[in-house]
Amino acid sequence: MSTTFESLKLTRQYLNAIEELGYAAPTEVQQKAIPLILGGQDVIGIAQTGTGKTAAYLLPLMQTLKYAQGEDPRCLILAPTKELVIQIDKNIRELAKYTDLRWVCLYGGIGPKTQIEQLEAGVDLIVATPGRFLELYAKGVFVAKKIKHMVLDECDRMMDMGFWPQLRDIQEKLPQKKQQLLFSATFPDKVQRIADNFLLWPSRIEVTPQATPAATVAQVIYHTPNKQTKANLIKHLLRHSEDMTKVIIFTATKEDANILANMLDEERLGPLRLLHSNKGQNARINAIEDFKTNVVRLLISTDVSARGIDINEVSHVINFNIPTHYEDYVHRIGRTGRAFKTGIAISMYDVSEKYHVRHIEKLIRQTIEEKPIPDPKLVLGTTVAERQAQNKEIDRQKRLENPEFKGAFHEKKFKKDLSKDKKKKSPAKKAKPKKRTF
């Protein structure tokens, strides 16, 4: 079965941090790189931003550094820009949450005073742009002789920005014997030159070029306040779009898949099949076969169940939830198109999923076209339980962005919302009672 973070031999403190971040499984580059780096090897990783490459080197390196030790840095991560240094800083803050490791970020554009103070207080790991690293080294603020691990992140960009002389300078100041990792989105000759000069018998790993959604897939997104509204919108679309002939609907959980399947079945919008882990192997195989051979119109699946299954050439993919494993978004929508001239990917997000939409748009480097809900009657009120779950999720996201944030579920606001709910008399209550609703 699929690789888990546990099977990558990460220690509990990292597994806990990963769990809190909500990463369901290691990404491809993480699966490939973590064991090699833990084994002390030099690694060339060809992976773009968005593939999870930062955690792919941070986790094994931090685990190797173990805990705060001595005064001098033992690991150096070089990045081309201040922005990338700040992004790496955020990743360390999240992943090192349950360790006592100390790290410093060095970049220009601000005075060096604070950075110097931090270095003098003792540090395990430095994340730096090459220029500021050399500047502070020259001032004698730290010694480099204990640096036994080094990462060149976004190496192609560093070369494009003309950092070759600085990189060579830095190499001369560090111990010869050290573990070296090189990450790069592309691998032109000039990056090859760095690898040849600095790395020793590196293992090369390459993750499939970041799937940018095919141009033939049209992507649209709807802002929907809750699951019940999402379900209504799906019903509406299925009823009114004759071209929706072969549709996969992805849900985050099997409960949602079950409820949605019942609703669509009741309204005869199928025929449909369900795919999730509670179904036996035979039922699953039959469901896939029936969908592939056009016996049924709809396949409702949890994303976990659909992973690795070869179903392509569908007319529409509907994301009932926004995948939190962002690469899944690209995989999911990649199933449309092909036989159909254009495939259509329809996603729905509630307020707590906006955060993930933003991340996905960053990953695919595109803005997904947002459409208004076609009929206001489709919009239903949010139940207290669902709103509470949404608020809790938003708090979790805020804490990820800012560890100082103290959320407590929007308690005050939540009380107000409750009273609003009473007064408004949610239209959901007027709706015909259903066997099971969201």
Site for ligand AMP, rule CB under 6 A:
23, 26-27, 30, 49-55, 325-326, 359
Least distance between ligand AMP and beta carbon 225 (Å): 25
Closer residue to ligand AMP (CB): 26 or 73: 26
Residue 53 · residue 62 · CB < 8 Å: no
What is the three-class DSSP state of 24? coil
Neighbours of 2 (CB within 10 A): 11
* Min CB(81)–ligand AMP separation in Å: 13
CB of 221 to ligand AMP, least distance (A): 19
Range 374-401 burial, b when 16+ CB lie within 10 A, else e:
eeeebbbbbbeebbbbbbbbbbbbbebe
CB of 115 to ligand AMP, least distance (A): 23
Q: Tell me how far, at minimum, the Cβ of 195 lies from ligand AMP, in Å.
A: 20
Q: What is the Cα–Cα distance from 359 to 366, expressed in whole angstroms?
A: 11
CA dist., res. 352 & res. 173, Å (int): 48
Least gap, CB of 48 to ligand AMP (angstroms): 7
d(CA 150, CA 61): 9
Tokens of 228: 């019940």
How near is the Cβ of 266 to ligand AMP at its closest, in Å?
35
Kindly state the smallest distance separating residue 50's Cβ from ligand AMP, in Å: 5
Residue closer to ligand AMP, measured from CB, 170 or 360: 360
CB of 179 to ligand AMP, least distance (A): 19
Strands in 103-106's sheet, in edge-to-edge order, are 103-106, 125-128, 75-78, 149-152, 179-184, 43-46, 203-206
Nearer to ligand AMP, 326 or 438 (CB): 326
Query: How far apart are the C-alpha atoms of 416 and 411, rounded to whole Å?
Result: 9
Nearer to ligand AMP, 326 or 349 (CB): 326
- Which tokens in the block code for residue 239? 């009823």
Which is nearer to ligand AMP, 95 or 288 (by Cβ)? 95
Q: Which is nearer to ligand AMP, 76 or 238 (CB)?
A: 76
92 or 174: whose CB is closer to ligand AMP? 92
Kindly tell me which of 224 and 305 has the beta carbon lying closer to ligand AMP.
Answer: 305
- Contacts of residue 407, Cβ cutoff 8 Å, sequence gap at least 6: 394, 395, 396, 398, 399
Give the nearest distance from C-beta 349 to ligand AMP in angstroms: 17
Q: Would you say 30 or 319 has its CB closer to ligand AMP?
A: 30
Q: How many CA atoms lie within 13 A of 21 on its CB side?
A: 25
Closest CA relative to residue 231, chosen from 121, 127, 348: 348
Going by C-alpha positions, the residue among 231, 230, 239, 229 that lies closest to residue 269 is 239
d(CA 386, CA 379): 15
Answer for the pair 249, 320: CB distance below 8 angstroms, yes or no: yes
DSSP-assigned letters across all residues of 329-340: HHHHHTTBSTTS
CB of 55 or CB of 237, closer to ligand AMP: 55
